[in-house]
């Protein structure tokens, strides 16, 4: 029996498009903010904000505030990219994407203030709409029948009217039954052979062997390769920081003059946090690629979000460095491969565990 196609509620359609359009505007706004922080008008606005309460007591100067705002803009752009992809999958009734979108919308609501805060709030409100009663029923596969009014044939008398009472026999209080009484099932003959399963006496069919598509192979290989290179680079950097920490900080200040006003301790702390975060991210991407190789649908969606977010970060870093350019290209290729119908069919056709 084929599965009944459920009609998508209007709340889900509206919420999905609100998420995608709002997230796209947030990404574009973050790119504009990152490129415009060094303008004279922006620096004057930041200086005026830092000279007034409540930012007066933070102890930040203009350059330090620009570094923080730029980091927030990059994080916001990554979260909005993930929300954009999840919004598309929500429209295709993917339950894990709805949960992931709700989780992503929480930090996006707070970090989106760097992009104005309006469209990030729209994304958060749309994520809440996905938990309404019609949306929950649609994601759970519950089809609620629509109550249709009962139409009586023309000329039929309504119950309780004199015309309806005149059709009843004297002494009766209700209309005679219009359907014949139910008949009892025919008796079963003794000694009749029992009805067996559909394959009784026949050779059972051979199990269908699933063939892994080539796009899954190449997507996983690219993910493993670039994630391993990134993890190795982070380990080498972590080994060099204790021995050549001052040289690393001097090179970082040379490439980014905004870091000149920050202390060595704060820069080292930020560096260790970035190294640990990128290392864990690379290991998680390799684990997700293995799950996609095994045919897990939720891992495919998560890896698409990871590749898209890493691609946005690499695109932002390309303006100052050349190294992230191959990573940005690889992220785009992996995300495109994971979105192909063959890869989606491979992950969705994974047999359920008994």
pLDDT in tens, 224-275: 988 888 888 888 888 877 777 677 777 777 766 666 667 777 777 878 888 8
Cα gap 108→124, rounded to integer Å: 8
Give pLDDT tens digits for 55-105. Answer: 665 666 777 777 778 878 888 888 888 889 888 888 888 888 888 888 888
Domain span at 335: 214-348
Which of 91, 107, 140 is the endpoint of a domain?
140
Q: Are 135 and 234 in a shared domain? A: no
Name the range with the highest mean pLDDT among 58-62, 161-165, 319-323.
58-62
* Domain match, 136 and 240 both: no
Question: Does the residue 5 lie in any domain?
Answer: no
**Of 140, 166, 199, which closes a domain?**
140
CA 24 – CA 30 distance, rounded (Å)? 10
Long-range contacts, stretch 222-226, CB < 8 angstroms, 24+ apart? 222/330, 222/333, 222/334, 222/337, 223/285, 223/286, 223/288, 223/289, 223/303, 223/307, 223/334, 224/286, 224/289, 225/330, 226/326, 226/327, 226/330, 226/331
Residue 184 lies in a domain: no
Question: How many percent of the chain have pLDDT more than 90?
Answer: 1
Q: How confident is the model at residue 142 (pLDDT cuts 50, 70, 90)?
A: confident
If asked whether residues 229 and 122 sit together in one domain, one would say no
pLDDT score, position 194? 53
Tell whether 218 and 336 lie within a shared domain. yes
Residue 341 placed within a domain:
yes
The predicted structure's pLDDT at residue 348: 78
Instruction: Check whether residue 136 and residue 219 sit in a common domain.
Output: no
Give the residue from 284, 294, 289 showing the smallest Cα distance to 338: 289
Q: Per the structure, how many domains does the chain have?
A: 2
179 domain residue, yes or no: no
Return the closest-CA partner of residue 96 out of 243, 302, 278: 302
Report d(CA 13, CA 88) in Å as an integer: 10
Same-domain pairing of 129 and 219: no
Domain co-membership, 103 together with 220: no
Residue 157 lies in a domain: no
Residue 203 lies in a domain: no
Q: Last residue of some domain: 120, 140, 160?
A: 140
Cα(335)–Cα(328) distance, integer angstroms: 11
Specify whether 220 is located in the same domain as 344: yes
Q: Going by C-beta distance under 8 Å and a sequence separation of 6 or more, which residues neighbour residue 214?
A: 342
Q: Which two tokens stand for residue 290?
A: 């293995």
d(CA 117, CA 122): 9
For residue 259, count other CB atoms closer than 10 A to its CB.
17
């Amino acid at each position: 029996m084929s599965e009944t196609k459920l009609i998508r509620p209007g709340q889900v359609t509206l919420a999905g498009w609100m998420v995608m359009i709002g997230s796209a505007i947030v990404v574009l706004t973050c790119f504009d903010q990152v490129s415009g922080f060094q303008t004279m008008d922006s620096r004057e606005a930041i200086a005026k904000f830092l000279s007034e309460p409540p930012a007066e007591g933070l102890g930040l100067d203009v350059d330090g505030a620009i570094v923080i705002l730029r980091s927030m803009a990059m994080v916001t752009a990554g979260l909005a990219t993930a929300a954009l992809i999840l919004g598309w999958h929500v429209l295709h009734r993917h339950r894990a994407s709805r949960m992931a979108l709700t989780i992503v919308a929480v930090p996006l609501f707070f970090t989106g203030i760097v992009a104005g805060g309006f469209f990030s709030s729209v994304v958060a409100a749309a994520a809440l709409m996905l938990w309404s009663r019609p949306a929950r029923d649609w994601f759970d596969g519950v089809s609620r029948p629509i109550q249709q009014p009962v139409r009586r044939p023309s000329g039929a008398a309504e119950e309780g009217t004199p015309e309806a009472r005149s059709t009843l026999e004297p002494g009766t209080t209700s209309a005679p039954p219009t359907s014949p009484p139910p008949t009892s099932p025919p008796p079963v003959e003794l000694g009749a052979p029992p009805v067996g399963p559909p394959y009784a006496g026949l050779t059972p069919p051979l199990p269908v062997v699933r063939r892994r598509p080539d796009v899954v192979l190449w997507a996983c290989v690219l993910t493993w390769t670039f994630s391993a290179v990134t993890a190795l680079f982070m380990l080498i950097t972590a080994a060099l920081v204790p021995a050549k920490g001052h040289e690393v900080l001097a090179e970082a200040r040379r490439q980014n003059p905004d870091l000149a006003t920050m202390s060595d301790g704060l820069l080292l702390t930020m560096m260790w946090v970035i190294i640990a975060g990128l290392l864990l991210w690379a290991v998680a991407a390799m684990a997700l690629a293995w799950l996609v190789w095994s045919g897990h649908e939720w891992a495919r969606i998560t890896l698409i979000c990871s590749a898209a977010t890493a691609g946005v970060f690499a695109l932002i870093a390309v303006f100052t460095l050349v190294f992230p350019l191959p990573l940005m290209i690889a992220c785009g290729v992996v995300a495109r491969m994971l979105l192909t119908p063959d890869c989606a069919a491979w992950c969705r056709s994974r047999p359920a565990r008994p």
